[in-house]
């Protein structure tokens, strides 16, 4: 059972905008920043968003992140077939003194 | 480019130990903590702990205390994770990841890059 809660699946058609939610608590998202990782099938996680809404160089601006209270969201606009992957949120947890992750959301591009 | 390369897949029997390596290149190994994260089949990511390659200091998630050990060899820019008393529930892909952070109004921490992962299978 993951500490952060994400929907297990999401889907959209090419060109659409989709959002993935991530719910936590006051000890993690409520006090600390959120990161998002993309995991293409059979590969390692790759940093997508850090510090709630910062994109590392090389990440398209179609990807954006936001945070409000104890929840965060990842938005993907102009959906493309290569966006089909698992997306996981993460945040530092002050109670556990370490990062916690969501269970991951499998995004399907129809 | 900055990267972490891990050792290959392992198959172990229950009760055995396994040691996974993580070799860093493209950056100064001793400047950043290495974290270990695992992912059981069909499950989410689970943080295991961290190691400072410069000092050798370590921190372990409570769940793994007493059963995992992080070490390093700075002469070859390599970090190691050893898990003892393996059980079937330890079957997972194990990742190493470099931790970066920024100090501002809040501490911003993230993992980048990640190693390619090492599958450890525990089966009799």
- Name the token pair of A42: 């059979």
pLDDT at B106 over 90: no
Going through chain A in order, the beta strands assigned E by DSSP cover 9-12, 18-23, 34-39, 46-49, 63-68, 71-76, 85-93, 98-101, 105-109
Q: Supply the DSSP symbol for A5.
A: B
Q: What would the pLDDT profile of A17-57 be if each residue is shown by its tens digit?
A: 999 999 999 999 999 999 999 999 999 999 999 999 999 99
CB-CB under 8 Å, B95 with A104: no
- Name the token pair of A60: 């398209």
Distance from CA of B73 to the nearest CA of A (A): 24
Q: What would the pLDDT profile of B70-79 be if each residue is shown by its tens digit?
A: 999 999 999 9
**A104 vs B44, B62, B116: nearest CB:** B44
Q: Check residue A1 and give its pLDDT.
A: 82
User: What residues of chain A, 9 to 48, have a C-beta less than 8 Å from chain B?
Assistant: 31-33, 35, 37, 43-47
CB-CB under 8 Å, A50 with B45: no
């Amino acid at each position: 059972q993951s500490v952060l809660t994400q929907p297990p699946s999401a889907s959209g058609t090419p060109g659409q905008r989709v959002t993935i939610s991530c719910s936590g608590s006051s000890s993690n998202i409520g006090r600390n920043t959120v990161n998002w990782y993309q995991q293409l099938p059979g590969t390692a996680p790759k940093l997508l968003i850090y510090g709630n809404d910062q994109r590392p160089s090389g990440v398209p601006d179609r990807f954006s992140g936001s945070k409000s209270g104890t929840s965060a969201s990842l938005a993907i606009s102009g959906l493309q077939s290569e966006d089909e992957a698992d997306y996981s949120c993460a945040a530092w947890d002050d109670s556990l003194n370490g990062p916690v992750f969501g269970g991951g959301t499998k995004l399907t591009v129809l | 480019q900055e990267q972490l390369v891990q050792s290959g897949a392992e198959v172990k029997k229950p009760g055995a130990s396994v040691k996974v390596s993580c070799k860093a290149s493209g950056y100064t190994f001793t400047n950043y903590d290495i974290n270990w994260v695992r992912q059981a089949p069909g499950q989410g990511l689970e943080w295991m702990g961290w190691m400072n390659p410069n000092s050798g200091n370590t921190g372990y998630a409570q769940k793994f205390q007493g059963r995992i050990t992080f070490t390093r060899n700075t002469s070859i820019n390599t970090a190691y994770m050893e898990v003892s008393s393996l059980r079937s529930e330890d079957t997972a892909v194990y990742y190493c990841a470099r931790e970066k952070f920024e100090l501002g109004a809040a501490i911003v921490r993230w993992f980048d890059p990640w190693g390619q992962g090492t599958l450890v299978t525990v089966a009799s």
